[in-house]
A and B are shown apart, each in its own frame.
Chain A
Amino acid sequence: EVQLVESGGGLVQPGGSLRLSCAASGFTFSNYIMNWVRQAPGKGLEWVSYIISDSSTIYYADSVKGRFTISRDNAKNSLYLQMSSLRAEDTAVYYCAREVYDNSAYFFDYWGQGTLVTVSS
């Protein structure tokens, strides 16, 4: 059974840092593209970052570029999001999501349960 379990969320002051983790199991993690997606309270989904299987290609949303760093450790079946210079508007539930493809279409087939990050003084 595919499982994605996020951790590392919590309360952090503006300007602070936090590192999120996503533990993957039930599939060969090293074969898959992974993403982070966030959802502010009562708001819609916002894509945050993307990393391919060997970490050679990484993308970020403009809203987090220069402040967040995505990484992965295939030996540990884990995905990470290092967040720095945090702002109140970064407050959200952060999900990790597995990306797959069929023919030439890509999509997210599994999502974690999310971890809440609250940026507040």
Chain B
Amino acid sequence: SYELTQPSSVSVSPGQTASITCSGHKLGNKYTCWYQQKPGQSPVLVIYEDTKRPSGIPERFSGSNSGNTATLTISGTQAMDEADYYCQAWDSGTWVFGGGTKVTVL
């Protein structure tokens, strides 16, 4: 079965850039999306179709996808961005989520 691998945690200072990777076999050939989940809340879509931001998502969130790795980048990270982030892709009749990355803003 297809797997997506994310680092378990990423730490970033306020105002700096956080990069979260998501790795999977030939992931660049699939569309990847990203969700943000804060404690006690439902997931929220922050990136879809590798690079697109839904309405209402700040410009500091961006995405890329090439080769075996998709990346979610948060530029100018703010305290409110502290959350868990999950990548997602479709493979052979199955939605697959990465294991999630906890972003801590120190």
Contact = CB atoms under 8 A, between A and B. Distances in A.
Nearest to A113: B42
B52 interface: yes
A47 interface: yes
A62, A105, A114 interface centre (most CB from chain B within 10 Å): A105
B54 A109 contact: yes
B6 to A, nearest CB: 9
Interface residues of B, number: 26
Contacts of A61: 94
Interface stretch (B15-23, B43-51, B70-78): B43-51
A50 B95 contact: yes
**Chain A interface helix/strand/loop/mixed:** strand
Given A62-B1, A111-B43, A45 B35 contact: yes
Contacts of A56: none
A100 B35 CA distance: 15
A111 B35 CA distance: 11
B36 to A, nearest CB: 11
A112 B43 CA distance: 9
Interface in A40-64: 44-47, 50, 59, 61-62
B14 interface: no
Contact of B48 (A44, A102, A114): A102
A44 B1 CA distance: 17
Contact of A108 (B37, B45, B52, B98): B45
Contacts of B84: 44
Interface in A66-107: 95, 102-107
Nearest to B41: A113
User: When A and B form their complex, which 7 residue pairs have the shortest distance between CB atoms, in order from nearest?
Assistant: A105-B49, A47-B95, A105-B31, A44-B100, A107-B48, A111-B42, A107-B33
